[in-house]
Structure 1
Amino acid sequence: MSGTYILGVVFSVFVFAMILLGMRNSRMKEKYAIVWVLIGVVVLVVSLFPDTLTWAARLIGVVVPLNLGFFLSGVVLLLISLQFSIDLSRVDEEKRVLAENLALLETRVAELEHAAKTLGPKGDS
């Protein structure tokens, strides 16, 4: 087994360890952990069985197996970026709605405080 494949195994073990630590410390949600576990499994399989990438490249018709690896890596990164953009847009919208609700509540509190001051200490006006 060459150094490149050993590096792949070490990287996949590192990814698994980071996922477990992230989930244990509640820094990583399960939906993101699943994606990274799948990436780690694919890297581990390709590292342990390098002919898998060669077989897949021949099946698809790619001449250089490493080119297939780079292409698939780019697609995965693109999909992860797309998912993060969608999540960020959703969180941004939720933040906007929360800010609007906060402004309405602050206005209501100010109105009630003003009404309480005009009524006096006992509310006998």
Structure 2
Amino acid sequence: MDVYQLAILFSVGFILIVLDLVRRRRLKEKYSLLWIFVGLLMLVLSTFRSAIEHMAAFFHVYYAPSLLFLVGLVFCFSLILHVTVVLSRLEDRVVRLAQEAAILREEIEQKAVAERGNKG
């Protein structure tokens, strides 16, 4: 089994895993589209050896299959950066919500104390 056949098997397996994760609702559709696109891109590049070899020659890559892994690695880094940005936004929102909840709790406690004082 050569590298291209291994890449084809990996790509098909990867796409099937993504589809199964969506089916079991462990991965949202909006994220799965990106993963499926990359899986299909890797599948196409693995299937058409001449295309990847021409691209490798253009970029002066001596071992053409390594370009497949470079494409995958660049995608992974891009996705990690995107997820980090989303996580940062969510962290800010959680802090803001916790602060608002604390303010509301304090207001409720102050009103409860004031009502007890008026009754006594």
Quickly name the TM-score band, shorter chain normalised.
0.7 to 0.9
Paired position in structure 2 for 1:17: 16
Aligned identity (percent) is: 27
The AA in structure 2 aligned to 1:94 is: R
Alignment-mate amino acid for residue 45 of structure 1? V
Q: Point out which structure has higher relative CO (alpha carbons under 8 A, 6+ apart).
A: 2
Partner of 1:83: 82
**Whole-angstrom CA distance in 2 between matches of 1:15 and 1:7:** 12
Aligned partners of 2:28, 2:48: CA distance in 1, in Å? 30
Give secondary structure in 2 for the equivalent of 1:40: helix
Gaps of 5+ in 2: none
Question: What RMSD, in angstroms, separates the aligned Cα atoms of the two structures?
Answer: 2.0
| Deviation, structure 1 residue 65 | 1.4
Runs of 4+ in 1 over 6 A off after TM superposition: none
* CA drift at 1:49: 1.8
Give the aligned length: 120
TM-score (norm 2): 0.83
Paired position in structure 2 for 1:7: 6
Q: TM-score, normalization: structure 1?
A: 0.80
CA distance in 1, matches of 2:64, 2:19: 31
Match of 2:62 in 1: 63
Q: Give, in angstroms, the shift of residue 3 of structure 1.
A: 4.4
**How far apart are the structure 2 equivalents of 1:20 and 1:74?**
21
Cα deviation 1:105-125 (Å, max 9, x = unaligned): 1111111211222232xxxx7
Maintained 8 Å contact 2:46/2:68: no
Q: Cα–Cα, structure 1 residues 55 and 9, in superposed 2: closer, same or farther, change >3 Å?
A: same
